[in-house]
Structure 1
């Protein structure tokens, strides 16, 4: 049995490695080669021109706001789901996972139908000088939606495993809700929350579909880094610059993966 299982094990491993290499590793290697093929000067020129710098700034602003919103919301909803029983709890939990099942393009279209100039609330908001679609507020809303589950799903299992004994004991000793959160709950979820934040940052910076629909993809105004890549390829016919911007996003993604792996390993230690 051992002799027959060993070749089978190696076969499965080989297939798994080849699958990952073809699907993920090979495209990354090609992009790395294409990025630095024209030389370092071309690479830095592509990243330091006005349009690219602005695109990275817009990505940073939108992602930063979305991360803050999802952190506050994620912690609150995570505590609600893990610590309380209430009617509609399962429905709320299902809605949290909705972004995983819905296409980002559909999310963007839904926001346009609600907040666009022909939407339910768009005309009223625009009459009061507040534009959502084709502006940063709509981009933030779309980014918040697509990254909604990451913080919640990271902290809920930790809260459920930790239980409520320490919090109940602190409450019986007169500790306030804020004190219990800062002294007990937050240290309990610290590692899981950090892991969720890392994934949220990476997801927000890389979002394309939903932001494409709600932003209008206006160069110099609502163009993010992923949208910049598309414009460089389709409109400006400048693939070398597109590879350079893509390389930066790949580095961010790999940094998030490594940080997440380190955080999870630290949590198990």
Structure 2
């Protein structure tokens, strides 16, 4: 490839990323610190913002934990076992990436609504409210973030094969020992990256959570919903500050993982 063409392609790629990502995000940072730390500190003192950030962290924690367990389990199932419906399961995993989160939220509403849902009335009779409560918000977040763990782990499992696992089993290791000593160390960085991506996706989820939460101020309102409300109520400072906090949390996760990753794996 000629040098002029190479530099032209680099310029186009950098320009695309700049105008699509870097510039808009930099404007959020600029507006957040336009008057020093005042906007940020005022937002952090707002009880509604505090509650929203706390709820977001709680939902993200449980969603990531659930996706970690089921994501790794499904990945092993897809790579190490043959069973009827395997291709269907693999295709269904990608559904959250192709379906609008709003549709996901509406589907959960139809199934778990306490009045007209399929399972909602029965669950509420037994003391469990799913919709307009944390369980529904966690379910919606899990749904949209699940593929991120699986699609990181599956290629690594496929690449490493199962020779070492079979050797460990032939030497008397049981399934638990094989997983903890052979499989998990081999896929640990894929798991870490999947968790980081899942966390970032969970922190920023909006559409599905808005439908199932009811967006009740101070009760079921996550950080992304607070951003919308504050901006619509002409409290742009609080909206910018909350957006900055969410973006910073996601970027820090990626930076920390990049710094911790062994150098030989980044070459």
SS at the partner of 1:119? Answer: coil
Please, what TM-score do these two structures have when normalized by structure 1?
0.94
Matched with 1:95 is 92
Note if contact 1:155-1:192 (Cα within 8 Å) is conserved in structure 2.
yes
**TM-superposed deviation, 1:43:** 1.7
Matched with 2:141 is 143
**TM-superposed deviation, 1:38:** 2.8
Q: Deviations over 1:25-64 (max 9, x none)?
A: 1111111111111331232111222111110110011010
Q: Deviations over 1:162-198 (max 9, x none)?
A: 1111111111111111111111111111111111111
Q: Deviations over 1:71-125 (max 9, x none)?
A: 0001100111111111111110011111000000000000001111211111111
Matched with 1:106 is 103
Note if contact 1:143-1:204 (Cα within 8 Å) is conserved in structure 2.
yes
Matched with 2:210 is 212
**TM-superposed deviation, 1:66:** 0.6
Choose which of 7, 28, 38 in structure 2 pairs with 1:10: 7
CA–CA distance in structure 1, aligned partners of residues 12 and 186 of structure 2: 39
Structure 1 residues 98 and 266: alpha-carbon distance in aligned structure 2, compared to 1, 3 A threshold? farther
User: Does the alignment pair 1:177 with 2:170?
Assistant: no
Note if contact 1:122-1:131 (Cα within 8 Å) is conserved in structure 2.
yes
CA–CA distance in structure 1, aligned partners of residues 146 and 224 of structure 2: 19
Structure 1 residues 80 and 265: alpha-carbon distance in aligned structure 2, compared to 1, 3 A threshold? farther
Matched with 2:123 is 125
CA–CA distance in structure 2, aligned partners of residues 29 and 114 of structure 1: 41
Matched with 2:18 is 21
CA–CA distance in structure 1, aligned partners of residues 4 and 156 of structure 2: 39
Matched with 1:224 is 222
Choose which of 35, 48, 58 in structure 1 pairs with 2:45: 48
Matched with 1:203 is 201
CA–CA distance in structure 1, aligned partners of residues 182 and 149 of structure 2: 18
Structure 1 residues 265 and 27: alpha-carbon distance in aligned structure 2, compared to 1, 3 A threshold? farther
Moved more, 208-217 or 13-22: 13-22
**TM-superposed deviation, 1:151:** 1.0
Please, what TM-score do these two structures have when normalized by structure 2?
0.95
CA–CA distance in structure 1, aligned partners of residues 266 and 34 of structure 2: 42
User: Does the alignment pair 1:72 with 2:69?
Assistant: yes
Aligned Cα root-mean-square deviation (Å): 1.5
Structure 1 residues 264 and 238: alpha-carbon distance in aligned structure 2, compared to 1, 3 A threshold? farther
Note if contact 2:141-2:205 (Cα within 8 Å) is conserved in structure 1.
yes
| Alignment gaps of 5+ in structure 1 | none
Note if contact 2:199-2:250 (Cα within 8 Å) is conserved in structure 1.
no
Note if contact 1:195-1:264 (Cα within 8 Å) is conserved in structure 2.
no
Structure 1 residues 97 and 260: alpha-carbon distance in aligned structure 2, compared to 1, 3 A threshold? farther
| Alignment gaps of 5+ in structure 2 | none
Note if contact 1:108-1:142 (Cα within 8 Å) is conserved in structure 2.
yes
**TM-superposed deviation, 1:152:** 0.9
